[in-house]
Amino acid sequence: MKQKVDIFYSNIGGKIKLLAKIIAALGVVASVLGGGITGIGGFFMIVTAGDSWNSDAQIAAGFGTIGLSFVYLIGGILASWIWSWFMYGFGELIQKTCQIAEQGENRNHGQFN
């Protein structure tokens, strides 16, 4: 049982760094899809407004939706990217701490002073 636990928790810093990259990539993809779908919806609101009594309101809502799509796009990409910095940095911190601990064990032959 100990062997399986070691596999899961060995090189945890590297795994956190990999997870940071994956989450950043998924966040960028989700932001592009969400912003694109919202922008397309706003475009269709404008195109289908026609000459009805509320066409001006529908056109204004369409432009607002397109503007919101840019907020989703840019904000989502930035948020995913910045959040990944913190996760990656945490993984780097754990990885460097483990390296320092291993160097200390090698220098002291497994005994800390």
Is this prediction's pTM over 0.95?
no
By C-alpha distance, which of 73, 72, 65 is closest to 40?
A: 65
Q: Which domain holds residue 53?
A: 21-108
The tens place of each residue's pLDDT in the chain, 113 residues long, gives: 556 667 777 888 999 999 999 999 999 999 999 999 999 999 999 888 877 777 888 889 999 999 999 999 999 999 999 999 999 999 999 999 988 888 887 776 655 55
In a domain, 47, yes or no: yes
Q: How many domains does the chain have?
A: 1
In a domain, 57, yes or no: yes
In a domain, 113, yes or no: no
Q: Give the separation between CA 35 and CA 22, rounded to whole angstroms.
A: 20
In a domain, 15, yes or no: no
In a domain, 12, yes or no: no
What integer pLDDT is reported at residue 87 of this predicted model? 95
